[in-house]
Amino acid sequence: MPFKNHYVKRKIPEINPNIDLKVKILGFVVDKKDDTILLDDGSGKVKIFVDMPGIMEKININQLLRVFGSTLPIDNGFEIKADVVQDLSGLNIDLYKKVEELYNKMGV
């Protein structure tokens, strides 16, 4: 299998940490503690480690984020270590979902 050095877009339940080494997910922050957040993409939740000085202070509960991160397999699943955290608070999520649906129908 060739090494993939890009982030693949995934819904949380679709992530296979043995194959998907780097992922990008979009979701809302539902919990925040110390250096971790819990992100909910509407289909599942995942714990994300954010080891970036100054970023945790800018993250709020119910904030829409896109996280680019590396998967960390654990006993009963996986967690994610954030490489990039992108604030998408200004995104029209309903319009985004409609565009995603059209892309999926077209096979893009």
CB atoms within 10 A of CB 18: 8
- The amino acid sitting at 75 is D
| Environment class of 59 (CB within 10 Å of its CB; exposed 0-12, middle 13-18, buried 19+) | middle
Helix (H/G/I), strand (E/B), else coil: 89: coil
65 burial type by CB count under 10 A (0-12 exposed, 13-18 middle, 19+ buried): buried
pLDDT band of residue 107 (cuts 50, 70, 90) is confident
| Mean pLDDT in residue range 61-88 | 94
Per-residue pLDDT of 77-99, as tens digits, reads: 899 999 999 999 999 989 998 99
3: pLDDT strictly greater than 60: no
For 34-51, write each residue's pLDDT tens digit: 999 999 999 999 999 999
In the numeric block, the tokens 């110390």 are attached to: 34
- Name all domains of the chain by residue range, CATH numbers in brackets: 8-106 (2.40.50.140)
- Overall size of the chain counted in residues: 108
Rounded CA gap, 61 and 106, in Å?
34
